Amino acid sequence: MSVLELIIALPLLAALAVWLGAPARAASLGATFINLALVLYMAVQYWGKTGLAFTYSRPILENPSLSFAVGADGISIILALLTALVMLAAIWQIEDRPPIFYVSSLLIGGGAMGAFLTTDVFFIYAFHELALIPTFLMIALHGRAEPAQRKAVAWKATIYLGAGSLVLLAGLVWLVLEFSGGSKLTFDLEALRSQARLTPLPDAKQAQIFFVLLLGFGSLVSLFPFHSWAAPAYATAPTPVAMLHSGVLKKFGLYGLIRIALPLLPHGAHVEWVQNALLVMLLGNILVMGLVTIHASRLDDTLANSSVMHMGYIFLGIAAGTDIALKGAVILMFAHGISIALLFGLCGRMRNQLGTLEYNKLGGLANHAPSFTVLFAFGAFASIGLPGLTNFAGEVMIFLGNFTEFKAGVLTNLQWTVILALWGVVMSAVYMLRAYRSIFHGTPATGLFMIDPAFSQRLPFILLAATLLVTGCCPWLLLNLMKSAL
């Protein structure tokens, strides 16, 4: 038995217990606290090490070879840390809601943990699917819109993500068939990786498979132009679900590209037509969605669209494929997860207390809710990429990672893309600062009044903001977990 199995099982068991009548809040918070402690213990144990650790494998089928195999390396641990933190904050901030809120948060969190910490392609896929189901159900049942509208939003997300998952499944099956060797089908990622090292595929074929995987994983991460489900889904989803899906679960697609696609198909992303397609799509994320975000007139729209937009930078890191850019991408995944969860959490509180999120109806909240304002500022500035907060570290590494080979006067397509993508940073600043100004500064709107939540209610958000500050000032805390090249 590995500690990882405990980390995966705990939230799922807690969800079952709550559904069958255990005290919802106590059980969920207890389980997530223990989970965070276990993940931290795991990170400390892994500190400075390289390679796959905490491995444990329970064979399930011999041929095709399938086993419940767990194992973690630096990326898995960073994402598990993200999951544990966001799950704790998301559950902590729930107030006066039926048990299904706790159950679904635990299921999404547990599913994400499972996806990040197993090393068998079958289970990586399976856990992600498990986490998607409660997401859909919660949007359809408890979304913040009229029943007909929230059902429509939920179905749209279901169709996009369902189709994306099927494309992904096709790509994974293709990988398994190609890399299993003649005698046995295997789903074990390590076995597939060693086979890929021994007998790499020709570049043209790598490109084809990579492209299928890119479409599959990409739809799950709202890669342009398969992104249109995301913004309405996040704007409609109940707060904990929005926090967990945009913060944690969406990172699954990126994780899959880094953990599965890149190592098995090392040249896939660099074949010209794939790379160009990826660059066009990610520029769509950054520039098109940046403009769309600037146009938003409500805070939830801004956050939802910005979350789609920021995925572009992480794709940029993946497209570059250099060690520093990939590590930057992982750090940005962590940073974006924490900051967007913080912002969605605060946004949910505002909606509950004020009943509206329209910029032109809000104003001057800072007067009576100073702590709340500071917390929001942490999220907003992190999102813009202010130095000292984690997002900055990630973005800088991604940008620099594209310039490791630089010839003066001759810019590659990647480098041109970086130069265009930098304008996205400006757009982030425009919409985030505008949101901040029109909500918290200016003359207080009449009839809208909000005071700081009690300290205990601020704690989950303080936790997230502190994480941003600590890992932002000391990004080596995260980098030390990724000593080996990715």
By the criterion CB under 8 A, which residues form the site for other proteins?
Answer: 19-21, 59-64, 68, 100, 122, 125-127, 129-130, 133, 136-137, 140-141, 147, 151, 158, 162-163, 166, 169-170, 173-174, 176-177, 180, 182-185
Burial 151-176 (b: 16+ CB within 10 A, else e): bbbbebbbebbeebbebbeebbeebb
Of 133 and 448, nearer to other proteins (C-beta) is 133
Q: What's the min distance (Å) between Cβ of 4 and other proteins?
A: 16
Of 48 and 182, nearer to other proteins (C-beta) is 182
Q: What's the min distance (Å) between Cβ of 326 and other proteins?
A: 28
Residues 6+ apart with CB under 8 A from 407: none
Q: What's the min distance (Å) between Cβ of 12 and other proteins?
A: 10
Distance from C-alpha of 294 to C-alpha of 191, rounded to nearest angstrom: 46
Q: Angle CA(371)–CA(375)–CA(379) in degrees, nearest 5?
A: 165
Of 142 and 270, nearer to other proteins (C-beta) is 142
Of 147 and 388, nearer to other proteins (C-beta) is 147
Q: What's the min distance (Å) between Cβ of 108 and other proteins?
A: 15
Of 105 and 306, nearer to other proteins (C-beta) is 105
CB of 324 closer than 8 Å to CB of 332: no
Give, for 56, the enclosing helix (H) or strand (E).
Answer: strand 53-61
Q: What's the min distance (Å) between Cβ of 23 and other proteins?
A: 15
Residue 410 is given by DSSP the state B
| CA distance readout (Å), 253 to 131, 180, 249, 250, 431 | 13, 23, 8, 6, 26
- 3-state helix, strand, coil split of the chain in percent (to 5) is 75, 5, 20
Of 130 and 414, nearer to other proteins (C-beta) is 130
Across the strands, what pairs with 61? 66
Q: What's the min distance (Å) between Cβ of 99 and other proteins?
A: 9
Of 18 and 319, nearer to other proteins (C-beta) is 18
Of 141 and 473, nearer to other proteins (C-beta) is 141
Of 58 and 295, nearer to other proteins (C-beta) is 58
Of 244 and 365, nearer to other proteins (C-beta) is 244
| CA distance readout (Å), 243 to 12, 202, 235 | 18, 41, 11
Q: What's the min distance (Å) between Cβ of 184 and other proteins?
A: 6
CB of 258 closer than 8 Å to CB of 486: yes
Q: What's the min distance (Å) between Cβ of 327 and other proteins?
A: 30
Q: What's the min distance (Å) between Cβ of 180 and other proteins?
A: 7
CB of 431 closer than 8 Å to CB of 383: no
Of 147 and 387, nearer to other proteins (C-beta) is 147
Residues 462, 464, 467, 468, CA torsion sign: negative
Residues 6+ apart with CB under 8 A from 228: 156, 160
Q: What's the min distance (Å) between Cβ of 64 and other proteins?
A: 6
Distance from C-alpha of 435 to C-alpha of 430, rounded to nearest angstrom: 9
Amino acid (one-letter) located at 462 = I
Q: Angle CA(347)–CA(352)–CA(357) in degrees, nearest 5?
A: 50
Tokens of 304: 């939802």
Amino acid (one-letter) located at 202 = P
Q: What's the min distance (Å) between Cβ of 371 and other proteins?
A: 35
| In 355-484, alpha helices (H) | 370-384, 390-401, 413-440, 455-473, 476-479
